Structure 1
Amino acid sequence: AMQYMELVPKELQPVAGTDGAWQRRRRLARQLPLHDQDPAQCRGLADGEHQLMEDFVKKYKAEALGVGEVALPGQGGGRKEEEKPQDKSIDPSRAPESPNGALESTAGHYRCDTCQQPLPGDCPVVYADRAGYSRQWHPACFVCCRCAEPLVDLIYFWKGGAAWCGRHYCESLRPRCAGCDEIIFSEDYQQVEGLAWHTKHFACLECETLLTGKPFALAKASLLCTTCSQSR
């Protein structure tokens, strides 16, 4: 564990009382918001949408959610490489394959799936079981494919051959309300310039006037009615 921690950038090491611990809490809240996991934490769900969200959560837990495993190269999945007599039938021009399916280069190294740099055999790496044990990452390279943030506590969501943080995985399946930050399960919502809102949250930031069908201004993801926009 200590060897793994040394490979994590110092500013991200979650040691109690340090900036790294604060960063971990901040990233955890951003990458895994409670309102993406529990309908009871949501304020934007309408009648009948609680079951939709419960099904959504159940589905991603079954199909995408995972926790990375730290192991030495070739030892992911609890399987250890064993010394064996060399198989004379193996083509020497091909990289040998380890018992867990990971291909080694002719120099005897595994490679990080993100940076493609060699992985020394004595340095811990991260495995993701949903990716299969032929892929491995430097701890600092195990990041969300969308935001490139290190995956807090190695919690990942697997989709399209890549690891995602929870926030961006959910957003890849359903729109997120720019007003309340919750996932939108209704098909009746407002969308402007790539952003989405629950219809009831499509309102002026200042006076809270609903803006559906009315002129408005959009500034830094904030909605303003024409009156409030002109008074700024």
Structure 2
Amino acid sequence: AMQYMELIPKDMQPVAGTDGAYYRRRQLLRQLPVYDQDPSQCRGLAEGEVKLMEDFVKKYKAEALGVGEVALPGQGGGGKEEGKAQDTGLAAGKAPETTNGALESAPAAGLYRCDTCKQAVPEDCPVVYADRAGYTRLWHPACFVCCRCAEPLVDLIYFWRSGAAWCGRHYCESLRPRCTGCDEIIFSEDYQQAEGLAWHKKHFACLECETLLSGKAYSLDKGSLRCATCSRSKRL
């Protein structure tokens, strides 16, 4: 465990009372917001959208969510993976498959490479495996990052999609729009869009006076909306 911890940048090591512990808490809130997981934590859901979100969460838990495993190169999955290989019919001459359907063949000793940086990995150096990626792929602990934001995956929690690991926030956003106003995923098909951003219609409102802006003149600055009146006042 200590050897693994030493491979993480010092300012990200989650040691109690340190900047690393604060970083971990902040990343948990950022990468895994509770309102992406539990409909009861959402303020933006209409009554008919609760079931849509429940199905969304159920689907990603079944198909994408995983937790990375720390092991030495070649030891990912342990005996569990060996047992799986026997069950898939090796006696019949079939090659085992990974969880993403690719044929699996472990690298020869000494030829392990990090999937992100492509650098060689010593056999005595702990690495991260993601079972949904299959055990032919491994990562340096500091290289196990979200493919969208490049931030380290907090507590090694990942979402697997399109051959890559995502943090929870960006995985959800790859499937549904996120409201710029409340930060929650939008499950309605009737929502507002502007300059590449999205809002629940009830949140497409002036930051200052809360006037709904659908069909009205507005200004947009770094995600903040203002009606024409408040925008002029701000410039004065």
What TM-score comes out, normalization by structure 2 length? 0.88
Aligned: 1:72 with 2:72: yes
Q: Give 1:102 deviation, angstroms.
A: 2.4
Stretches of structure 2 lacking an aligned partner (at least 5 in a row): 81-103
Query: How far apart are residue 101 of structure 1 and its match?
Result: 2.5
Q: Secondary structure at the match of 2:6?
A: helix
1:149 equivalent in structure 2 = 151
1:94-142 Cα shifts (integer Å, max 9, x gaps): xxxxxx732237xx23000000000000000000000000000000000
Per the TM alignment, residue 78 of structure 1 is displaced from its structure 2 partner at its CA by 1.1
Matches within 5 A, 1:200-219: 200-219=202-221
Query: Is contact 1:31-1:167 (8 Å) kept?
Result: yes
Aligned to 1:104: 108
Q: 1:111 is paired with a residue of what secondary structure?
A: coil
CA–CA separation in structure 2 for the residues paired with 1:216 and 1:193: 12
Among candidates 204, 221, 224, match of residue 222 of structure 1: 224
Q: Residue 77 of structure 1 aligns to which amino acid in structure 2?
A: G
Percent same amino acid at aligned positions? Answer: 81
Q: Is 1:135 aligned to residue 137 of structure 2?
A: yes
Matches of 1:101 and 1:57, distance apart in 2: 32
> Counterparts of 1:79 and 1:223 in 2: how far apart (Å)?
55
In 2, the alpha carbon distance for the partners of 1:133 and 1:206 equals 52
Q: Secondary structure at the match of 1:27?
A: helix
CA distance in 2, matches of 1:6, 1:179: 39
Q: What are the superposed Cα offsets for residues 150-172 of structure 1, whole Å, 9 maximum, x if unpaired?
A: 00000000000000000000000
Question: TM-score, normalised on structure 1?
Answer: 0.89
Helix, strand or coil for the counterpart of 2:192? strand
Structure 1 spans left out of the alignment, 5+ residues:
81-99
Paired residue for 2:15? 15
Aligned letter for 1:71? A
Residue of structure 1 equivalent to 2:28: 28
Q: What's the secondary structure of 2:47's corresponding residue?
A: coil
**Following TM superposition, where does structure 1 have runs of at least 4 consecutive aligned residues deviating by more than 2 angstroms?**
none
Cα deviation for residue 15 of structure 1 reads: 0.2
